[in-house]
A and B are shown apart, each in its own frame.
Chain A
Amino acid sequence: MGKPHAIIIGAGFTGVATAHDLALRGFDVTVVERGDFCNGTSGRTHGLLHCGGRYAVKDRESAIECIEENMILRKIVPQVIEPNGGLFIALNESDLAYRQAFLEGCEACHIPIEELSPQEALRLEPNINPKLLTAFLVPDGTFDPLRLALAFAATAKKNGAQFFTYTEVNRLILDGKGTVTGVTVTDRRANRTYEIRGDIVVNATGVWAGEIAKMAGAKVPVKPTPGVMVAYDQRLVQRAINRLNEPGDGDIVLPQRRMVVVGTTSFEVEDPDYIPVLEDHVALMLERGAELIPGIRQARVRGKYMASRPLIAAGSGRSAARTFKCFDHKETDNVEGLVTITGGKATTLRAMAEKTADIVCQKLGIQAPCLTREIPLLSYRQYFALS
């Protein structure tokens, strides 16, 4: 029997990480993507390599996932990460009231933090709000979104995975017994339609997971939940700056190359294909960002855009868990041959892939351990340099 063939729909973070994991487990992998790498949510991620501090109080499952994956990614793909840490800063009494819960949460989730005096924090980051009351140094990082994905894709490609961009799935092919046996795709570069058959189809389309699942009569409870990001043209800080409070709007500012990016907001939409930038959200980012870094008011907007989180519907908006879930549609909808992986955060991409690959192997009766925790990724450029 030859290698099992997995078809992965979507070349965002989950798609490329799953391709990498399955390729290492001996699968033939075909990834189809209707656009180019990371053209959906993944490309527009804020770029924060979470330490988990943001979730340590209310969503400890996510927090623990984050700190574990943070450490793994620093090891396997340092080439795209600025591992320069981050700060949580308190600006008022309300923030200070959160301090105790934050300390306890980080302790419980094993997130190494260090409290700094305002003077110490300002020495590290002269441009943060001088009126800060306290600060915590945390092991945050920032990464380059597209290049993170390309590093996974490069390694998967080296191990035999094939990637077809501009290739849109029109239909899931079902046999008479309600099993998904492949996909019908259109190569948009040439307007050519053809079929790809496989042993399992992995739906890694993030916010579009529901649309793909529908093609097989299956349901995925994913709610596209966009938010705004605003990039300013000055790099005012060298590390991630978080507000010490309950997760809210505009409470993270990251450096990204010669910019700082302020994010984000949260609201639900039905159709995530195109979400126009809402100016009142942009204005809110300026206000909230300037609270953390007053110098933002003197900077100019370089870019503004909307990014849609795939939230799994259990609660909504900020109360929805930021964890991920892999749905085996045989269990949920009696559709064999299809799994969906969605939810999650950029930081947990490798863990999402591990979970998905575990379920895929279990479904196909294959014993193959996950190897992605240890194996360093190839240079992201190898995706193109390999022919």
Chain B
Amino acid sequence: MSDNKWNITLKIHRQKEDQPPYFQEFHLEVDPDEYVLDAVERVWAFMDRTLCFRHACHHSTCGACGMRVNNVEKLTCITPIRAVTQDGGVIKVEPLRNFPVVSDLVVDMSNLYARMEMVGAKAVLPVTQAEIERPPATWPADAEQYLRLTDCIECGLCISACPSAATSPSYLGPAVLAAAQTVGLTAETLPIIDSEDGLWRCHSAFECTAVCPSAVDPARRIMNLRQQVVRQRLSSLLKKS
């Protein structure tokens, strides 16, 4: 790839326990085709071992390394440095919004996981139910035995980017609603989803779909849920009359 190195500045959000947060600058030499996560990891490895950040798979399947990079939600393991700055530039790295900050770049995503559990989200689905990139026109008879990991990696980028999630702590959030749509509504989950803090709190900013790194398209799924719910309500209304 490139032999040329860039000199960049990382401006990293720091926060320890009850201390007020601040930004700390680190100057490093990087390969522009490396990823933002690599730069953050270098800072930890060679410059400041007190830096806390979360990462695991380094290839967009675990969802651990979501951060705000120059004000935009990104999965840092697949965001090349080249895409967010130039030689001599600055990369601002902050934790995701709308989650409690544990330290530095780490946020507490327990809420997200607990809510996903509440709507019955599944990590693997039979391939006939999982929405995949090029489904065949008809599935072979034995297709059900094949499972597929769902697209959503629970990275939290969508919740960080959502303006409704910014002002409403009890809003379920795009990822959770998308998961409910993927796995299907049940009698138990319907009242949770079809509620003030569920489906109807979304106000069509579409930022969730814009930042999702995993082709989940939460906005489309939320609107589709609305279609389903309204249809159900209408049909039950018509049945009564």
A touches B in complex, CB < 8 A: yes
Chain A CB within 8 A of B124 CB: yes
Chain B CB within 8 A of A325 CB: no
CA distance A346 to B124 in the complex (A): 19
Chain B CB within 8 A of A326 CB: no
Whether the Cβ atoms of A303 and B77 lie closer than 8 Å is: yes
**From residue A49, how far is it (CB to closest CB) to chain B in Å?**
12
Q: Do A147 and B123 contact each other (CB < 8 Å), given the known contacts A190-B16, A274-B46?
A: yes
Q: Do A166 and B52 contact each other (CB < 8 Å), given the known contacts A36-B106, A258-B133, A302-B78?
A: yes
Of the listed stretches B143-151, B198-206, B217-225, B229-237, chain A binds B143-151
Of the listed stretches A76-84, A105-113, A359-367, chain B binds A76-84
The interface centre, meaning the residue of A82, A189, A277 with most chain B CB atoms within 10 A of its CB, is A189
Whether the Cβ atoms of A303 and B147 lie closer than 8 Å is: no
Whether the Cβ atoms of B103 and A166 lie closer than 8 Å is: yes
Contacting residue for A385 out of B55, B114, B122, CB 8 A: B114
Residues of chain A within 8 A of B63, CB atoms compared: 146
Residues of chain A within 8 A of B34, CB atoms compared: 276-277
Question: Which residues 149-173 in B have Cβ within 8 Å of A in the complex?
Answer: 149, 151, 153
Residue of A nearest to B113 (CB): A384
Chain A CB within 8 A of B7 CB: no
Whether the Cβ atoms of B58 and A80 lie closer than 8 Å is: no
Chain B CB within 8 A of A257 CB: yes
Residue of A nearest to B31 (CB): A276
**From residue A325, how far is it (CB to closest CB) to chain B in Å?**
25
Chain B CB within 8 A of A38 CB: yes
User: Which bucket holds chain A's interface residue count?
Assistant: 35 or more
**From residue B126, how far is it (CB to closest CB) to chain A in Å?**
11
Chain A CB within 8 A of B238 CB: no
Whether the Cβ atoms of B146 and A302 lie closer than 8 Å is: no
Contacting residue for B148 out of A79, A82, A189, A303, CB 8 A: A82
How does the 8 Å CB contact mask read for A41-83 relative to B, with 1 for contact and 0 for none? 0111001000000000000000000000000000000111111
Whether the Cβ atoms of A191 and B114 lie closer than 8 Å is: no
User: Which bucket holds chain B's interface residue count?
Assistant: 35 or more
Whether the Cβ atoms of B123 and A257 lie closer than 8 Å is: no
CA distance A381 to B109 in the complex (A): 11
Question: Which residues 361-387 in A have Cβ within 8 Å of B in the complex?
Answer: 379-385
CA distance A379 to B133 in the complex (A): 26
How does the 8 Å CB contact mask read for B42-75 relative to A, with 1 for contact and 0 for none? 1001100010101111111111100000000000
CA distance A261 to B58 in the complex (A): 11
Whether the Cβ atoms of B113 and A385 lie closer than 8 Å is: yes
Whether the Cβ atoms of B113 and A381 lie closer than 8 Å is: yes
Residues of chain A within 8 A of B42, CB atoms compared: 274
Residues of chain B within 8 A of A43, CB atoms compared: 55-58, 62, 64
Whether the Cβ atoms of B117 and A381 lie closer than 8 Å is: yes
Residues of chain A within 8 A of B214, CB atoms compared: 257-258
The interface centre, meaning the residue of A80, A191, A231, A384 with most chain B CB atoms within 10 A of its CB, is A384
Residues of chain B within 8 A of A257, CB atoms compared: 60-61, 149, 151, 153, 214
Counting residue pairs across A and B whose Cβ atoms lie within 8 Å, the total is 150
Contacting residue for A303 out of B60, B102, B133, CB 8 A: B60
CA distance A307 to B127 in the complex (A): 30
Chain A CB within 8 A of B110 CB: yes
Chain A CB within 8 A of B137 CB: no
Q: Do A39 and B55 contact each other (CB < 8 Å), given the known contacts A190-B16, A274-B41?
A: yes
Residues of chain A within 8 A of B133, CB atoms compared: 234-235, 258
Contacting residue for A258 out of B54, B64, B116, B151, CB 8 A: B151
Chain A CB within 8 A of B215 CB: yes
Whether the Cβ atoms of B45 and A144 lie closer than 8 Å is: no
**From residue A219, how far is it (CB to closest CB) to chain B in Å?**
24
Whether the Cβ atoms of A147 and B64 lie closer than 8 Å is: no
CA distance A38 to B31 in the complex (A): 25
The interface centre, meaning the residue of B57, B62, B123 with most chain A CB atoms within 10 A of its CB, is B57
Residues of chain A within 8 A of B113, CB atoms compared: 381, 383-385
**From residue B157, how far is it (CB to closest CB) to chain A in Å?**
15
Whether the Cβ atoms of A147 and B77 lie closer than 8 Å is: no
CA distance A80 to B153 in the complex (A): 12
Q: Do A144 and B61 contact each other (CB < 8 Å), given the known contacts A188-B103, A303-B35?
A: yes
Chain A CB within 8 A of B187 CB: no
Residues of chain A within 8 A of B188, CB atoms compared: none
Whether the Cβ atoms of B56 and A146 lie closer than 8 Å is: yes
Chain B CB within 8 A of A305 CB: yes
Residues of chain A within 8 A of B16, CB atoms compared: 189-191
**From residue A129, how far is it (CB to closest CB) to chain B in Å?**
20
Chain B CB within 8 A of A37 CB: yes
Listed A/B pairs (7) with beta-carbon separation below 8 Å: A39-B64, A43-B57, A189-B102, A191-B50, A258-B151, A305-B58, A384-B110
Q: Which A residues form the contact surface with B (CB < 8 A)?
A: 35-39, 42-44, 47, 78-84, 142, 144-147, 166, 188-192, 229, 231, 234-235, 238, 256-259, 261, 273-274, 276-277, 279, 282, 302-303, 305, 379-385
Given known contacts A257-B149, A302-B78, A303-B58, what 8 new A-B pairs fall within 8 Å (CB)? A37-B56, A84-B146, A145-B57, A166-B102, A189-B16, A191-B50, A257-B151, A302-B59
